[in-house]
Structure 1
Amino acid sequence: MRHRIFLAAVAAGFSVPVLADSLDINLNNDTIQATYATAWRQAEFNVGFLSNTDQNDWAASMGLLASGEKQTADMRLDAGLGGKVYYANVSNQDVLALGLGGQFSVHPNNMPFGFSGYLYYAPDVVTFMDGNKFWEWGARVEFEVVKKTANIYVGYREMRAELDNNNDVTVDSGAHVGVKISF
Protein backbone atom coordinates (compact mmCIF):
# COMPACT_ATOMS: atom_id res chain seq x y z
CA MET A 1 0.00 0.00 0.00
CA ARG A 2 2.80 2.46 0.89
CA HIS A 3 4.46 1.66 -2.42
CA ARG A 4 1.28 2.69 -4.31
CA ILE A 5 0.97 5.94 -2.33
CA PHE A 6 4.63 6.75 -3.03
CA LEU A 7 4.19 6.09 -6.78
CA ALA A 8 1.03 8.22 -6.87
CA ALA A 9 2.86 11.08 -5.13
CA VAL A 10 5.79 10.87 -7.58
CA ALA A 11 3.39 10.81 -10.57
CA ALA A 12 1.51 13.82 -9.18
CA GLY A 13 4.81 15.68 -8.81
CA PHE A 14 5.61 15.18 -12.49
CA SER A 15 2.15 16.29 -13.60
CA VAL A 16 2.24 19.83 -12.17
CA PRO A 17 0.83 21.97 -15.01
CA VAL A 18 2.81 25.22 -14.70
CA LEU A 19 5.58 25.69 -12.19
CA ALA A 20 8.23 28.38 -12.53
CA ASP A 21 10.77 29.72 -10.07
CA SER A 22 12.84 32.90 -10.00
CA LEU A 23 15.63 34.40 -7.95
CA ASP A 24 15.99 38.19 -7.80
CA ILE A 25 19.07 39.74 -6.15
CA ASN A 26 19.81 43.47 -6.01
CA LEU A 27 22.27 45.61 -4.12
CA ASN A 28 23.86 48.99 -3.58
CA ASN A 29 26.69 50.11 -1.28
CA ASP A 30 24.67 49.56 1.92
CA THR A 31 21.84 47.16 1.10
CA ILE A 32 21.28 43.71 -0.36
CA GLN A 33 17.90 42.18 -1.12
CA ALA A 34 17.16 38.65 -2.29
CA THR A 35 13.74 37.32 -3.28
CA TYR A 36 12.81 33.79 -4.27
CA ALA A 37 9.47 33.36 -6.04
CA THR A 38 7.60 30.37 -7.35
CA ALA A 39 4.57 30.53 -9.61
CA TRP A 40 1.88 27.90 -9.77
CA ARG A 41 -1.03 28.36 -12.15
CA GLN A 42 -2.19 31.97 -11.57
CA ALA A 43 -0.48 32.55 -8.21
CA GLU A 44 2.97 33.64 -7.15
CA PHE A 45 4.44 32.83 -3.73
CA ASN A 46 7.54 34.79 -2.73
CA VAL A 47 9.97 34.97 0.16
CA GLY A 48 12.43 37.82 0.52
CA PHE A 49 15.03 39.32 2.81
CA LEU A 50 16.53 42.83 2.83
CA SER A 51 19.54 43.83 4.91
CA ASN A 52 20.76 47.40 5.33
CA THR A 53 24.25 47.25 6.87
CA ASP A 54 24.54 51.03 7.16
CA GLN A 55 21.68 51.23 9.67
CA ASN A 56 21.66 47.60 10.92
CA ASP A 57 18.01 47.35 9.80
CA TRP A 58 16.52 44.32 8.09
CA ALA A 59 13.17 43.10 6.79
CA ALA A 60 11.90 39.66 5.86
CA SER A 61 8.77 39.16 3.78
CA MET A 62 6.51 36.44 2.48
CA GLY A 63 3.87 37.18 -0.15
CA LEU A 64 1.07 35.75 -2.25
CA LEU A 65 -0.06 37.36 -5.51
CA ALA A 66 -2.76 36.54 -8.01
CA SER A 67 -0.82 37.07 -11.23
CA GLY A 68 -1.34 37.03 -14.96
CA GLU A 69 0.23 37.91 -18.29
CA LYS A 70 -1.13 39.59 -21.40
CA GLN A 71 0.90 39.56 -24.60
CA THR A 72 0.08 41.32 -27.86
CA ALA A 73 2.17 42.46 -30.81
CA ASP A 74 2.40 45.90 -29.13
CA MET A 75 3.41 44.90 -25.61
CA ARG A 76 3.84 42.28 -22.92
CA LEU A 77 2.30 43.00 -19.52
CA ASP A 78 2.73 40.96 -16.33
CA ALA A 79 0.73 42.05 -13.28
CA GLY A 80 -0.25 40.79 -9.86
CA LEU A 81 -2.34 41.82 -6.85
CA GLY A 82 -2.06 40.43 -3.36
CA GLY A 83 -0.24 40.91 -0.11
CA LYS A 84 2.96 40.48 1.84
CA VAL A 85 3.61 39.76 5.49
CA TYR A 86 6.63 41.74 6.70
CA TYR A 87 8.68 41.18 9.82
CA ALA A 88 11.28 43.92 10.25
CA ASN A 89 13.76 45.15 12.80
CA VAL A 90 14.21 48.90 12.36
CA SER A 91 15.93 51.24 14.85
CA ASN A 92 15.98 48.31 17.32
CA GLN A 93 12.18 48.07 17.12
CA ASP A 94 10.25 45.04 15.81
CA VAL A 95 7.48 45.54 13.26
CA LEU A 96 5.02 42.95 11.95
CA ALA A 97 2.80 44.13 9.10
CA LEU A 98 0.43 42.87 6.41
CA GLY A 99 0.95 44.98 3.30
CA LEU A 100 -1.57 44.92 0.47
CA GLY A 101 -0.63 45.97 -3.04
CA GLY A 102 0.71 44.67 -6.29
CA GLN A 103 3.30 44.74 -9.01
CA PHE A 104 3.54 45.09 -12.79
CA SER A 105 6.07 44.72 -15.59
CA VAL A 106 5.68 46.20 -19.10
CA HIS A 107 7.75 45.49 -22.21
CA PRO A 108 6.56 47.82 -25.03
CA ASN A 109 6.61 46.30 -28.52
CA ASN A 110 7.79 43.03 -26.94
CA MET A 111 11.28 44.52 -26.85
CA PRO A 112 13.94 43.41 -24.37
CA PHE A 113 13.76 46.81 -22.62
CA GLY A 114 10.97 47.27 -20.12
CA PHE A 115 9.97 48.84 -16.84
CA SER A 116 8.28 47.58 -13.72
CA GLY A 117 7.06 48.73 -10.35
CA TYR A 118 5.44 47.62 -7.13
CA LEU A 119 3.75 49.06 -4.05
CA TYR A 120 2.71 47.47 -0.74
CA TYR A 121 1.10 49.40 2.11
CA ALA A 122 0.19 48.33 5.65
CA PRO A 123 -1.93 50.87 7.61
CA ASP A 124 -2.32 50.98 11.40
CA VAL A 125 -4.99 48.29 11.53
CA VAL A 126 -2.65 45.58 10.13
CA THR A 127 0.69 46.75 11.61
CA PHE A 128 1.66 45.28 14.97
CA MET A 129 4.33 45.11 17.66
CA ASP A 130 6.31 48.41 17.70
CA GLY A 131 4.92 49.73 14.38
CA ASN A 132 2.01 51.88 13.22
CA LYS A 133 2.47 51.80 9.43
CA PHE A 134 4.73 50.06 6.94
CA TRP A 135 5.17 50.53 3.20
CA GLU A 136 7.46 49.55 0.38
CA TRP A 137 7.54 50.75 -3.20
CA GLY A 138 9.97 50.50 -6.05
CA ALA A 139 10.47 50.97 -9.77
CA ARG A 140 13.03 49.64 -12.21
CA VAL A 141 14.19 49.78 -15.80
CA GLU A 142 15.17 46.35 -17.03
CA PHE A 143 16.80 44.61 -19.96
CA GLU A 144 16.08 40.99 -20.83
CA VAL A 145 19.39 39.33 -21.58
CA VAL A 146 17.47 36.12 -22.34
CA LYS A 147 13.72 36.55 -23.01
CA LYS A 148 11.65 35.64 -19.91
CA THR A 149 14.74 33.98 -18.35
CA ALA A 150 17.45 36.48 -17.34
CA ASN A 151 17.02 40.21 -16.66
CA ILE A 152 19.44 42.87 -15.48
CA TYR A 153 18.05 46.11 -14.10
CA VAL A 154 18.58 49.45 -12.41
CA GLY A 155 15.97 50.37 -9.84
CA TYR A 156 14.91 52.57 -6.96
CA ARG A 157 13.33 51.30 -3.73
CA GLU A 158 11.93 52.90 -0.62
CA MET A 159 10.92 50.92 2.46
CA ARG A 160 9.65 52.83 5.49
CA ALA A 161 8.11 52.16 8.89
CA GLU A 162 6.23 54.47 11.22
CA LEU A 163 6.87 53.35 14.78
CA ASP A 164 4.71 53.61 17.93
CA ASN A 165 7.01 56.35 19.27
CA ASN A 166 6.04 58.50 16.21
CA ASN A 167 9.44 58.04 14.55
CA ASP A 168 9.31 57.64 10.79
CA VAL A 169 12.21 55.31 9.92
CA THR A 170 13.61 54.62 6.47
CA VAL A 171 14.61 50.97 6.29
CA ASP A 172 16.06 51.50 2.80
CA SER A 173 15.91 54.24 0.21
CA GLY A 174 17.94 54.56 -2.93
CA ALA A 175 19.08 53.20 -6.24
CA HIS A 176 20.28 49.65 -6.77
CA VAL A 177 21.37 47.27 -9.53
CA GLY A 178 20.18 43.72 -9.83
CA VAL A 179 19.65 40.53 -11.72
CA LYS A 180 16.57 38.29 -11.94
CA ILE A 181 16.88 34.73 -13.18
CA SER A 182 13.80 32.61 -13.95
CA PHE A 183 14.08 28.84 -14.17
Structure 2
Amino acid sequence: MRFRIILAALAAGFSSAVSADSLDINLNDDSIQAIYATNWRTAEFNAGLLSNSDQNDWAASIGLLALGEQQTGETRIEGGLGGKIYLADVANQDVLALGLGGQFRTFPNNGPIGLSGFLYYAPDIVTAMDGEKFWEWGARAEFEVVKKTANIYLGYRKVRADLDNGQNVTVDSGLHAGIKITF
Protein backbone atom coordinates (compact mmCIF):
# COMPACT_ATOMS: atom_id res chain seq x y z
CA MET A 1 0.00 0.00 0.00
CA ARG A 2 2.75 2.48 0.93
CA PHE A 3 4.58 1.66 -2.28
CA ARG A 4 1.45 2.62 -4.28
CA ILE A 5 1.22 5.93 -2.38
CA ILE A 6 4.86 6.74 -3.23
CA LEU A 7 4.34 5.84 -6.90
CA ALA A 8 1.19 8.00 -7.05
CA ALA A 9 3.04 10.96 -5.51
CA LEU A 10 5.88 10.61 -8.02
CA ALA A 11 3.46 10.28 -10.94
CA ALA A 12 1.60 13.40 -9.80
CA GLY A 13 4.87 15.29 -9.73
CA PHE A 14 5.82 14.24 -13.24
CA SER A 15 2.41 15.12 -14.67
CA SER A 16 2.65 18.83 -13.86
CA ALA A 17 3.22 21.40 -16.59
CA VAL A 18 6.41 22.61 -14.89
CA SER A 19 9.53 20.60 -15.65
CA ALA A 20 11.32 18.84 -12.80
CA ASP A 21 14.69 19.75 -11.42
CA SER A 22 15.49 16.86 -9.08
CA LEU A 23 14.39 13.56 -7.65
CA ASP A 24 15.80 12.56 -4.26
CA ILE A 25 15.20 9.03 -2.93
CA ASN A 26 16.62 7.70 0.32
CA LEU A 27 16.00 4.64 2.45
CA ASN A 28 17.04 2.47 5.35
CA ASP A 29 15.70 -0.84 6.71
CA ASP A 30 12.44 0.71 7.99
CA SER A 31 11.74 3.83 5.93
CA ILE A 32 11.75 5.30 2.45
CA GLN A 33 11.51 8.94 1.40
CA ALA A 34 11.02 10.43 -2.05
CA ILE A 35 11.23 14.17 -2.77
CA TYR A 36 10.47 15.76 -6.12
CA ALA A 37 11.68 19.36 -6.52
CA THR A 38 11.40 21.94 -9.26
CA ASN A 39 12.97 25.38 -9.50
CA TRP A 40 10.95 28.41 -10.44
CA ARG A 41 12.91 31.66 -10.76
CA THR A 42 14.88 31.86 -7.48
CA ALA A 43 12.62 29.49 -5.55
CA GLU A 44 12.30 25.75 -5.15
CA PHE A 45 8.94 24.00 -4.90
CA ASN A 46 9.15 20.48 -3.45
CA ALA A 47 6.79 17.64 -2.62
CA GLY A 48 7.78 14.61 -0.61
CA LEU A 49 6.56 11.51 1.14
CA LEU A 50 8.21 9.69 4.03
CA SER A 51 6.93 6.24 4.99
CA ASN A 52 8.06 4.22 8.00
CA SER A 53 6.93 0.58 7.76
CA ASP A 54 8.24 -0.30 11.22
CA GLN A 55 5.77 2.03 12.94
CA ASN A 56 3.18 2.34 10.13
CA ASP A 57 3.64 6.14 10.23
CA TRP A 58 3.92 8.47 7.24
CA ALA A 59 4.40 12.17 6.57
CA ALA A 60 3.75 14.03 3.33
CA SER A 61 5.00 17.55 2.69
CA ILE A 62 4.98 20.36 0.17
CA GLY A 63 7.40 23.23 0.49
CA LEU A 64 8.58 26.48 -0.97
CA LEU A 65 12.12 27.80 -0.44
CA ALA A 66 13.86 30.99 -1.54
CA LEU A 67 17.22 29.75 -2.86
CA GLY A 68 20.65 31.22 -3.32
CA GLU A 69 24.12 30.10 -4.30
CA GLN A 70 27.42 31.79 -3.62
CA GLN A 71 30.94 31.01 -4.73
CA THR A 72 33.39 32.34 -2.12
CA GLY A 73 36.90 31.73 -3.32
CA GLU A 74 37.07 28.00 -3.84
CA THR A 75 33.99 27.06 -1.79
CA ARG A 76 30.47 26.67 -3.20
CA ILE A 77 27.66 27.43 -0.71
CA GLU A 78 23.94 26.93 -1.35
CA GLY A 79 21.12 27.90 1.00
CA GLY A 80 17.40 28.36 1.24
CA LEU A 81 14.76 29.70 3.64
CA GLY A 82 11.06 28.97 3.55
CA GLY A 83 8.48 26.56 4.81
CA LYS A 84 6.75 23.22 4.44
CA ILE A 85 3.19 22.12 5.01
CA TYR A 86 3.09 18.66 6.58
CA LEU A 87 0.25 16.17 6.68
CA ALA A 88 1.12 13.13 8.78
CA ASP A 89 -0.42 10.01 10.24
CA VAL A 90 1.53 9.11 13.39
CA ALA A 91 0.47 6.68 16.13
CA ASN A 92 -3.02 6.60 14.52
CA GLN A 93 -3.31 10.38 14.97
CA ASP A 94 -3.50 12.98 12.19
CA VAL A 95 -1.23 16.02 12.19
CA LEU A 96 -1.31 19.10 9.96
CA ALA A 97 1.55 21.56 10.45
CA LEU A 98 3.32 24.54 8.88
CA GLY A 99 7.04 24.20 9.50
CA LEU A 100 9.37 27.15 8.93
CA GLY A 101 13.09 26.69 8.43
CA GLY A 102 15.70 26.15 5.80
CA GLN A 103 18.54 24.18 4.35
CA PHE A 104 22.18 24.62 3.42
CA ARG A 105 24.86 22.82 1.36
CA THR A 106 28.56 23.48 1.10
CA PHE A 107 31.23 21.98 -1.14
CA PRO A 108 34.67 22.97 0.20
CA ASN A 109 37.21 23.77 -2.53
CA ASN A 110 34.33 23.32 -5.01
CA GLY A 111 35.15 19.62 -4.84
CA PRO A 112 32.90 16.58 -5.09
CA ILE A 113 32.46 16.10 -1.32
CA GLY A 114 29.84 18.22 0.41
CA LEU A 115 27.97 18.64 3.66
CA SER A 116 24.36 19.67 4.00
CA GLY A 117 21.66 20.08 6.60
CA PHE A 118 18.08 21.18 7.11
CA LEU A 119 15.69 22.11 9.91
CA TYR A 120 11.93 22.81 9.90
CA TYR A 121 9.91 23.53 13.05
CA ALA A 122 6.16 23.96 13.58
CA PRO A 123 5.11 25.20 17.04
CA ASP A 124 1.64 24.73 18.52
CA ILE A 125 0.22 27.90 16.91
CA VAL A 126 0.66 26.43 13.38
CA THR A 127 0.04 22.76 14.18
CA ALA A 128 -3.52 21.40 13.93
CA MET A 129 -5.71 18.31 14.14
CA ASP A 130 -4.21 15.92 16.75
CA GLY A 131 -0.78 17.62 16.80
CA GLU A 132 0.85 20.10 19.10
CA LYS A 133 4.34 20.47 17.55
CA PHE A 134 6.14 19.01 14.56
CA TRP A 135 9.76 19.17 13.44
CA GLU A 136 12.12 17.64 10.94
CA TRP A 137 15.89 17.98 10.90
CA GLY A 138 18.80 16.18 9.32
CA ALA A 139 22.32 16.29 7.95
CA ARG A 140 24.16 14.44 5.22
CA ALA A 141 27.57 13.91 3.67
CA GLU A 142 27.36 13.95 -0.11
CA PHE A 143 29.53 12.85 -3.02
CA GLU A 144 28.88 14.42 -6.43
CA VAL A 145 29.26 11.60 -8.92
CA VAL A 146 28.50 14.07 -11.73
CA LYS A 147 28.90 17.76 -10.79
CA LYS A 148 25.49 19.40 -10.04
CA THR A 149 23.73 16.40 -11.64
CA ALA A 150 24.04 13.17 -9.63
CA ASN A 151 24.84 12.77 -5.92
CA ILE A 152 25.02 9.83 -3.57
CA TYR A 153 24.90 10.42 0.17
CA LEU A 154 24.71 9.11 3.70
CA GLY A 155 22.51 11.05 6.07
CA TYR A 156 20.77 11.22 9.40
CA ARG A 157 17.17 12.38 9.78
CA LYS A 158 14.77 12.86 12.68
CA VAL A 159 11.07 13.62 12.20
CA ARG A 160 9.01 14.04 15.36
CA ALA A 161 5.44 14.96 16.28
CA ASP A 162 4.20 16.00 19.71
CA LEU A 163 0.53 15.10 20.00
CA ASP A 164 -2.36 16.66 21.91
CA ASN A 165 -2.69 13.51 24.04
CA GLY A 166 0.82 14.05 25.45
CA GLN A 167 2.60 11.48 23.26
CA ASN A 168 5.88 12.41 21.60
CA VAL A 169 6.14 10.24 18.49
CA THR A 170 9.27 9.85 16.40
CA VAL A 171 8.03 9.34 12.85
CA ASP A 172 11.52 8.45 11.64
CA SER A 173 14.99 8.61 13.11
CA GLY A 174 18.29 7.20 11.96
CA LEU A 175 20.79 6.79 9.19
CA HIS A 176 19.81 6.45 5.56
CA ALA A 177 21.48 6.19 2.16
CA GLY A 178 20.23 7.96 -0.92
CA ILE A 179 20.66 9.37 -4.39
CA LYS A 180 19.70 12.75 -5.80
CA ILE A 181 19.46 13.18 -9.55
CA THR A 182 19.09 16.66 -11.06
CA PHE A 183 17.78 16.98 -14.60
After TM superposition, the score normalised by the length of structure 2 is 0.89
Matched, 1:90 2:90: yes
Q: What is the letter of the counterpart of residue 83 of structure 2?
A: G
Structure 2: 5+ residue stretches without partners? 1-16
Q: What is the letter of the counterpart of residue 141 of structure 2?
A: V
Which residue in the other structure is 1:73 paired with?
A: 73
Which residue in the other structure is 2:174 paired with?
A: 174
> What SS class does the counterpart of residue 166 from structure 2 fall into?
coil
Q: What is the letter of the counterpart of residue 119 of structure 2?
A: L
Which residue in the other structure is 2:108 paired with?
A: 108
Residue 41 (structure 1) shift? 1.3
> What SS class does the counterpart of residue 104 from structure 1 fall into?
strand
CA contact (8 A) 2:20 2:36 kept: no
Matched, 1:142 2:142: yes
After TM superposition, the score normalised by the length of structure 1 is 0.89
RMSD over equivalenced CA pairs, Å:
1.3
Residue 40 (structure 1) shift? 1.3
CA contact (8 A) 1:64 1:83 kept: yes
Residue 72 (structure 1) shift? 3.2
Q: Which one is further off, 42-51 or 69-78? A: 69-78
Alignment coverage as a number of residue pairs: 167
Which residue in the other structure is 1:55 paired with?
A: 55
CA distance in 1, matches of 2:36, 2:70: 23
CA contact (8 A) 2:44 2:66 kept: yes
> What SS class does the counterpart of residue 125 from structure 2 fall into?
helix
Q: Which has the larger radius of gyration?
A: 1
Which residue in the other structure is 2:154 paired with?
A: 154
Which residue in the other structure is 2:164 paired with?
A: 164
CA distance in 1, matches of 2:114, 2:60: 27
Which residue in the other structure is 2:126 paired with?
A: 126
Cα separation, partners in 2 of 1:20 and 1:148, compared to 1, 3 Å: farther
Which residue in the other structure is 2:21 paired with?
A: 21
Residue 71 (structure 1) shift? 1.5
Residue 36 (structure 1) shift? 0.2
CA distance in 1, matches of 2:125, 2:78: 30
Q: What is the letter of the counterpart of residue 169 of structure 2?
A: V
CA distance in 1, matches of 2:39, 2:105: 15
CA contact (8 A) 1:20 1:40 kept: no
The percentage of aligned residue pairs carrying the same residue is 73
Residue 74 (structure 1) shift? 1.9
Structure 1: 5+ residue stretches without partners? 1-12
